[in-house]
Amino acid sequence: MIAGEDSGDQLGADLIAALRQRYPQARFVGIGGARMQARGFESWYDMHELSLFGFSEVIRHLPRLLRLRKALLARLLDAWPAVVIGIDAPDFNLAVEQRLKQAGLRTVHYVSPSVWAWREQRAEKIGRSADRVLCLFPMEPAIYARHGIDARFVGHPLADRFALASDRAGARAALQLPPDVPVLALLPGSRLSELARMGQIFVDASTRVAAALPGLRVVIPAANPRVHARLKTLLANRSSTGDTPLLLDGHAHEALLAADVVLLASGTATLEAMLAKRPMVVGYRVSALSYRIARLLRMLKTDIYALPNILARASGRVGDGLLVPELMQDECTAENLAAATLALLHDNERRGRIVAAFEQLHLDLRGGLEDHAGERAAAAIAELVEERHAGG
């Protein structure tokens, strides 16, 4: 198993637990983090050696990454495991999987790259690397099927971590928020680079909303200490309108559950807000140069970006419309975000429709089954293991 970041470490830990139910004597080796190691995983290298972001950072560390990949390939070929599972981290894992598949090992790629957003032809490259792709979203296997690639929907692990019925009262009590006031959760990004582009815009938008809606409480969960410090600076520079926003160290789950509406940056947080059954307004900006390059090269194959909208459209529940407002690039302004948020806060009927759709999408992501994503992933992997043994 090869995991390259914290989210992959969690997936790997859940998968090890499920596989061990089937194979109690199995040995799990490769690259993993503390959660996987707590399940008995033997990590040959530090997982964080693969946790690189951005083209320039990868280039700077390329010689070391190539040495690590060569050593890892040699050890895996020597061990000749029943199956090799690359968990996300496609830039590193797909190349490793392809070499091992060519050598005759069974390979699985767990977490499909976003083939529905980027060039679909990328699916063919993934198929050359993996005997089976395990998908978190229900619309993904059909894309791979068009290219003759074995892909299975196993469900999204986040869908297992949110209750189908959310507890707003409990979350407000935990955060010491009044039970009867409007609450806006603000999540402007989990990285400093995102705050540099969008932090001021989102803070200004929340200030506008608070000025127009007396009594509103704004709750801002910070993803880590560096993000907390940056948000604190941004809030110190805001105009003093209404109550001071509640800035939290973490507690994103509770902040989402406590909110009436969420204003947030596009990304995984939109999926979490959907699973918390909270209506949302989504905004995002990339650098102007990156946006122009992506458009010029036609790298994007979608006209919608927020995961709830993508999932709703794929399910056929909204036709060509949008389930939640999304304001991207030049449309992502404080004025536009505030207007969309206020409109949602004032429209009880629309919020009710959104919540009902979110409940159905939550069930979709769980595959309509009682077992967890890790268990379904283990079942799909066990099929390959048994096929190998049956074939000698």
Instruction: Give the pLDDT of residue 4.
Output: 86
The domain tally of the chain equals 2
Is 163 inside a domain boundary? no
- Residues 126, 182, single domain; the answer is no
Report pLDDT digits (tens) over 169-220: 999 999 999 999 999 999 998 888 889 989 999 999 999 999 999 999 999 9
pLDDT at 115: 76
Look up residue 50 and give its DSSP letter. Answer: G
* pLDDT of res. 366: 87
pLDDT at 382: 96
260 is a domain residue: yes
Q: What are the structure tokens assigned to 11, written together? A: 């997936």
Residue 56 pLDDT grade (very low, low, confident, very high; cuts 50, 70, 90): very low
Are 89 and 35 found together in one domain?
A: yes
Q: Tokens 């190349």 sit at which residue?
A: 95
Residue 145 and residue 79 in one domain: yes
Shared domain check, 351 and 278: yes
pLDDT, averaged across the chain: 89
What does the pLDDT look like over 368-388, one tens digit per residue?
656 788 999 999 999 999 887
- The runs of H, that is alpha helices, within the chain are 6-22, 34-38, 55-60, 62-79, 90-103, 122-129, 140-145, 157-161, 168-174, 192-212, 225-236, 252-258, 268-275, 288-296, 307-315, 334-345, 348-365, 373-390
* 220-262 tens-digit pLDDT: 999 889 999 999 999 988 776 567 899 999 999 999 999 999 9
Query: Domain range holding 8?
Result: 2-155+368-390
Percentage of the chain modeled with pLDDT above 90: 66
